[in-house]
Amino acid sequence: MPYMIVSLELTQTLPTLQIPEDHTGVFLILRYLERPIGLLLRSCSPEDSLTPTILEAWIAQELGTKLLQEQIRSEIFLTPNAIGFPSLTVAICTKDRPENVSRLLRSLLPLQANSLTQFEILVVDNAPSDDRTKDIVTAIPSICYTRELKAGLNFARNHALHAATGELLAFLDDDVTVDQQWLNGLKEAWAENPDAAAFTGLVLPYELETEAQILFEQRGGFRRGFEKIRYGQTLPNNPSYPCGAGIFGAGCNMAFRRSVLLELGGFDEALDTGRPLPGGGDLDIFYRVVRAGYPLVYEPQYLVYHQHRRELHQLQHQYWTWGLGLMAFVGKSFQVDRSQRIKLLHLMAWWLKNQIWQLQQSLTGQHVLPISMVLAEFWGGMVGVLGEYGRSQKRVAQIRRRFS
């Protein structure tokens, strides 16, 4: 069942890849001068040997044009000067997952130690049930530890917003690890877009060990492509823009000017609350940043690896929360941003049409996902559009009163 994940540097001689006995596929991350430029995903058997000749033909067929573009780019364009990069806080919001935090820190600490740009690491322990995370974090002198007693991801994010000292505030979910070029990617995005207020990056799989993880990646995972994108106030041929905020990136890997987050009032604590509404918070803040007139930049070199849900029932629940979070965000925006109502209605109509198409594809065996997972996202969206944001506001008000 597992897929072998291999990173290939295309300026070096290609190796021969032998598929391990218990593996059924390969996931190739392709780099040119350390920059991620594409991926290849293929099912295969242990009898298959991917020789340099086979790999070269496969890469040329799928990514030949992109590779040529990168070769030209490396000869013409200089790496932007990172002088003037602002002070940075990296916030990790977590709840009762000390092993995840430890793994993330092992990937992040070398960047903190070896980079000329020093940065603050801040772990926000969200309503913990024990001291395991505290014990891990406080044993490392270069990391700051703090607690947010109100359970909910956006409560923790707002806690980080006020506790951080950096001008730039990056958020990492505890189920990711950072690539060795992660900090360089953020620096490059900043140098190329000094007026931007938000940055998102590429998210690739940490592992492909189970059927659920492979299904998720075959459907597209969190990927937003390998091209730099600068989002402004308009986007040609997208009548719903910027309401379809899922195009901007993923909340597990995002960064903001801290001053802009404070100006916008921080994260909406009625979204990304954990159960029963564990979503929508990243969509909402991306949308509000762009609606406030600021550019948002997607940078593929700003790369993390995400541990996808391992079990099928967990993946099905994730798709349910995606539908729920999207439509809770749409419901909120419909209330508070009246000038965008036509675009929001257009987004809802497109989403419904797309969901029906996916259901038809799944019923006829032409969709990678089983019908149960497609239905889960659909029903989540229906619950979201039928007043979930208002219900969440009431729940959050009760939490605030409890802790006031």
Note the Cα 388 to chain centre separation in Å: 23
Domain-located, residue 200: yes
In a domain, 81, yes or no: no
* Domain end among 310, 331, 346: 310
Residue 83 lies in a domain: no
User: Would you state the pLDDT for residue 76?
Assistant: 83
At CA 121, angle to CA 266 and CA 134, rounded to 5?
Answer: 95
**Are residues 71 and 131 both part of a single domain?**
no
Does residue 131 sit within a domain?
A: yes
Residues 326 and 295 in one domain: no
Predicted pLDDT at 14: 94
* pLDDT for 82: 65
Written in H, E and C, the secondary structure of the chain is CCEEEEEEECCCCCCCEECCCCCCEEEEEEEECCEEEEEEEEECCCCCEECHHHHHHHHHHHHHHHHHHHHHHHHHCCCCCCCCCCCEEEEEEECCCHHHHHHHHHHHHHHHHHCCCCCEEEEEEECCCCCHHHHHHHCCCCEEEEEECCCCHHHHHHHHHHHCCCCEEEEEECCEEECCCHHHHHHHHHHHCCCCCEEEEEEEECCCCCHHHHHHHHHCCCCCCCCCEEECCCCCCCCCCCCCHHHHCCCCEEEEEHHHHHHCCCCCCCCCCECCECCCHHHHHHHHHHHCCCCEEEEEEEEEEECCCCCHHHHHHHHHHHHHHHHHHHHHHHHHCHHHHHHHHHHHHHHHHHHHHHHHHHHCCCCCCCHHHHHHHHHHHHHHHHHHHHHHHHHHHHHHHHHC
Same structural domain, 327 and 179: no
Residue-number span of the structural domain to which 61 is assigned: 3-76
Is there a domain that residue 82 lies in? no
Asked if 128 and 271 sit in the same domain, the reply is: yes
Last residue in a domain, options 24, 54, 76? 76
Indicate if 223 and 110 belong to the same structural domain: yes
Answer whether 0.75 is exceeded by the pTM.
yes
Residue 236 forms part of a structural domain = yes
What's the structural domain count of the chain? Answer: 3
Domain shared by 158 and 270, yes or no: yes
Q: Residue 273: inside a domain, yes or no?
A: yes
Q: What is the pLDDT of residue 47?
A: 80
Q: Are residues 243 and 355 in the same domain?
A: no
Query: Taking Cα atoms as reference points, which of 99, 126, 102 lies closest to residue 278?
Result: 126
Furthest CA-CA distance within the chain: 66
Residue 9 lies in a domain: yes
Q: Are residues 7 and 47 in the same domain?
A: yes
Whether residue 374 is found in the same domain as residue 332: yes
For 324, phi then psi, to 5°, come to -65, -50
Domain boundary residue, one of 310, 327, 353: 310
Q: Counting beta carbons within 10 angstroms of the beta carbon of residue 96, is it exposed (0 to 12), middle (13 to 18) or buried (19 or more)?
A: middle
Does 206 share its domain with 59? no
Same domain, residue pair 36 and 54: yes
Quick one: 191 and 233 in the same domain? yes
| CA–CA separation, 61 and 54 (whole Å) | 11
Between CA 386 and CA 373 the distance in angstroms is 20
Q: What is the mean pLDDT of each run of 10 residues along the chain (404 residues)?
A: 93 92 93 95 86 93 90 79 87 98 97 88 98 97 97 98 98 98 96 97 97 96 95 96 96 98 98 94 98 98 98 97 97 97 97 96 95 97 96 96 91
pLDDT of residue 22: 87
